[in-house]
Structure 1
Amino acid sequence: MELLLGLVLGVIGVIGILFLLLLSFTIYYDLSRSEIPSGFDSQLKLRVFHCSFIIVFALGKCLELLGVCRQVAFIRFVVSFRNPRVDPSLSAKDLHFDGVPVRVYQPKAPSAGLRKGFMFFHGGAGMIGSIASYQDVCCKIAKETDSVLVSVGYRLSPEHLPPAQYKDCLAATLHLIQNAASHGVDPSKIIVGGDSAGGNYAAVVAQKLVERSDLPKLRAQVLIYQTSQAMDFNLPSYQQNSSMPPLFQENVVYYVTKYIGKDPSLTGQLLKGSHVPDSMRLKYGKWVSPDNIPERFKGRGYKQVPLAPYEPEVYRQLPETLEADFSCLFADDSVIQKLPETLIVSCEYDVLRDDGLLYKKRLEDHGVKVSWFHVENGFHGVLNLFDAGLFTFPAAVELMDRIVDFVKNL
């Protein structure tokens, strides 16, 4: 008995030591690698939140090295525990739209007529995230806007490489448009939207639908701190927020390579821009130019970094990053000018801030009606923290309110 007790205590001791080592590494990593600008409120809260990210990612990497499971699988497993309850004023049905899993949120209260429809595409770099983990976001939008919201469970990379993600989003959207009435939706009042990678999918879906004269036009698109280009990763926001948690500049290019199933060793060349052919620099440079970023967004420091010399071999391995299906900013003028009314959300302390600003200017230059909301104290991923208990951020509440107001007023 004493031997068994000693063994148990020994195991507990080892676990305790490992936990302390992990915690020490996490705190060290956060303090040494991250840099939160002095103008940002709630620094301690963000650091604690970031540390939780580091722990999950570090544990996932350890399990991958031990051959237990892939890091991305562990992260998805942890994220799956975040499954908020459905608001009691809504019904939620798990269906398939043209083979794509979706969850349809619909107000239980009777409606005088057909409702607006909102196709929502979650974020997560195209590799994590799920219908369940965005349930609170989707319930809030559906309830407050009295809309039928369809959350799309598109396929994830690396099991399913792009363009599987946007194609699933497009297929589900087409299904709703073509079967709107059966879901209580007005086909002329369908909105597409999403955050981060999901915002990019929404932009691409909207672009793909502008040429479909046989279908009702989309009513609007809601693009929340979305990616829009993979040409220049040294724009002002990338430099100013290079070490701002939870999304660092180096992480963005690393995730790009992982997402498209390429060797992460290409990260350095992608960051420098050596994957961009000279012909594309001439064609797209006018849209990605820092001159298109208002001067107010350069006040926290910016030094223009020219793209590195073109390396054909690098481009040969990364051609999809410069296609419009991946970089929505690079769509043809004939497509851009037909896009629907748009809400663009940017966050001051987000590396992707300028991607949204560049897309905003491109739309406005072609006469598209754009509403823009800039979250002064926002950071990447803040939307998910609008109702997170101790980790609720006022910026997230403000952002959610603005999305709701935009949809209600369409």
Structure 2
Amino acid sequence: MLEYIMAVFSLKVLLVIGVLVGFAAFYARPVYPKEVSNRGLKTIVNFTFKFIGAMSAMSGYLGFSPLNTTRAMMNAMKAMDVKSPKVERHMTTMDGVEVIIFKPAGQTEGLRPGIIHIHGGGWVLMTAELYGKFTEAVVEETGSIIASVNYRLAPEYVYPIPLEDCLTAARYFLRHAKEYGVDENLIGIKGDSAGGNLAMAVALKLSKEKDLPGLKFMSLDYPALQAFDFKLPCYKKHENGPGLLTKQAMVSYWLLYAFGNLDNYDIFYNNKHLTTELQNSVYRSYIDKTFIPTSIAGIDHDITEETAGGKDNANVQIPQEMIKIITDPLYAPLMASDEDLSVLPTAYIFNVEFDVLRDDGLIVAERLKRAGVKVTTRFMSFEEHGYLNFVSQDKSVRQEIIRFAKFFNETLNL
């Protein structure tokens, strides 16, 4: 009897906590400008994610892992994944890496073009399955066969393991394309956010491997490409929103991916890792803010502005191993030289305004153009990070996928 009473009491306590957390998340919800489309949807989505974040933080006080709580709550969203009758999907492995194949339903004649897809989620969250509705929409609009990679996640598996999983799957798919009904000469790579990071890193690595069919395009949707400077204009403007991705979250994701912990969070958040040595290095020039269009950034490109905290950083000691990682192009692709960028395939760069990663995409688009790569860009002034994932809730997302499909067809001469 006592156990029953305690169980009921515990449930009531959890219910009260949930209600209180819900109210807190509601009052902390972001406020979007009036010009923004679907303000109601964005507010609901942001409230939901703030609620998940608050509940996850609360779980830490109860002895649970906040990260695993977040994963569990996000995985619950799979219940809303109503599969398209126009697309078949099945799980397989490629040299030990789990991959979901998405393809047009029914029998198909001849070989189709293919896409290697890498999901986002800050290297620590999400799965290929949770990206199912978006991936299905891409299949429907392009007629392609997609290999979506379920790479292992940080912090359990830190850099370079997630990248190695993506490379393993990409190499296998390129070598065995015909087994999946794909023309190996019509394959590109696509990823968003952390997946955009991994997609570009895979493209950089494979560009040096001449024993494989070359990637025909690289599609990056609001990609995370540098951990060098967390005081770029977008990090200042959207530090706390209103978009889904805040500076706090992004800095945490970078550190969990690299080191598996947040021990140096304050150093990175305040840009104290950007020492005088790094400021004077060639890597500084790779993300110079003059690459950012003033019409978007709303800055005057005053090159005398101090972005690292000035003289305060002169005495900060950063381990060489840490510097080695954050300047590694396979960890942070914007650290690649112009020479390495010049051999990358035709690119499609999709960017949105309400996003701390906005400038990463703007900079890489401009650098690729200057390196001689053909680049198609799309910038949406009133959308936020994660926008493309809401293809079932926001009709305008489908139009953006159709826009990508046009690039896809033109690039592959279909």
Question: 2:374, 2:256 → 1: CA distance?
Answer: 35
Instruction: Provide the rounded CA distance (Å) in 2 between the counterparts of 1:4 and 1:187.
Output: 62
Q: How does 1:280-319 map to 2 (within 5 A)?
A: 280-281=278-279, 282-299=281-298, 304-308=305-309, 309-310=313-314, 313-316=317-320, 318-319=322-323
Match of 2:271 among 246, 270, 273: 273
Q: Say if 1:64 and 1:271 are closer, same or farther in 2 by CA, change over 3 A.
A: closer
Give the AA of the match of 1:79. M
Residues of 1 paired with 2:315 and 2:248: CA distance?
20
Q: Please give the per-residue CA displacement for 1:298-327, whole angstroms capped at 9, x wherever unaligned.
A: 338998442132455334463312211111
Structure-to-structure mapping, 1:196-211, within 5 angstroms? 196-211=193-208
Secondary structure, aligned partner of 1:80: helix
In the other structure, the counterpart of 1:93 is 90
Is the 1:231–1:322 contact (alpha carbons within 8 Å) kept by the matching residues of 2?
yes
Question: Which deviations, in whole Å up to 9, do the C-alpha atoms of 1:236-290 show, x marking residues without a partner?
Answer: 2112222223111222112222332355252232133332344443302222111
User: Is the CA contact (8 Å cut-off) linking 1:93 and 1:104 kept in structure 2?
Assistant: yes
Alignment partner for residue 246 of structure 1, among 218, 240, 244? 244
- Secondary structure of 2:36's counterpart equals coil
Cα distance, 1:352–1:152 mapped onto 2, change above 3 Å: same
> How has the CA–CA distance of structure 1 residues 7 and 192 changed in structure 2, closer, same or farther, with 3 Å as cutoff?
closer
1:365 is displaced (CA, Å) by 0.6
Partner of 1:370: 375
Cα distance 1:271–1:9, how it changes in 2: closer, same or farther (>3 A)?
A: closer
Contact 1:276 1:310 survives alignment (8 Å) = no
Change (3 A) 1:317 1:266: farther
The 1-side partners of 2:320 and 2:262 are apart by 15
2:169 equivalent in structure 1: 172
Aligned equivalents of 1:274, 1:6: Cα separation in 2 = 52
Paired position in structure 2 for 1:403: 404
What is the rounded CA distance, in whole Å, between the counterparts of 1:117 and 1:142 in structure 2?
9
The secondary structure found in structure 1 opposite 2:101 is strand
Distance 1:37 1:238 in 2: 18
SS at match of 1:243: coil
The CA distance in 2 between the partners of 1:169 and 1:130, in whole Å, is 13
Match of 1:141 in 2: 138
Alignment of 1:117-196 (within 5 A): 117-196=114-193
**TM-score by structure 1 length?**
0.90
**What CA deviation, in whole Å up to 9, does each residue of 1:128-154 have, x standing for no partner?**
100210111111111221111011000
Q: Which moved more, 1:178-187 or 1:262-271?
A: 262-271
Note the aligned Cα RMSD (angstroms).
Answer: 2.6
3-state SS of paired residue (2:223): coil
- Provide the residue aligned with 1:47 in structure 2: 43
Tell me by how many angstroms 1:407 deviates: 2.0
TM-score by length of 2: 0.89
Q: Give yes or no for contact 1:234–1:305 (8 Å, CA) kept in 2.
A: no
Query: Relative to structure 2, which stretch is displaced further, 56-65 or 341-350?
Result: 56-65
Distance 1:215 1:5 in 2: 63
Map 1:384-395; keep pairs closer than 5 Å.
384-387=389-392, 392-395=393-396
Give unmatched runs, 5+ long, in structure 2.
none
Aligned to 2:68, which of 69, 73, 81? 73
Structure 1, unpaired ranges of 5+: none
Q: Which amino acid aligns with 2:74?
A: V
Is residue 133–residue 391 contact of structure 2 (8 Å, CA) maintained in 1?
no
The Cα shift of 1:23 comes to: 1.8
**Secondary structure of 1:313 counterpart:** coil
Change (3 A) 1:43 1:144: closer
In structure 1, how many angstroms separate the alpha carbons of the residues matched to 2:194 and 2:15? Answer: 38
Distance 1:266 1:45 in 2: 35
State the identity as a percent.
27
CA distance in structure 2 between the partners assigned to 1:140 and 1:331 by the alignment: 32
Bigger shift: 71-80 or 187-196? Answer: 71-80
SS of residue in 1 equivalent to 2:28: helix
Contact 1:375 1:395 in 2 (8 A): no
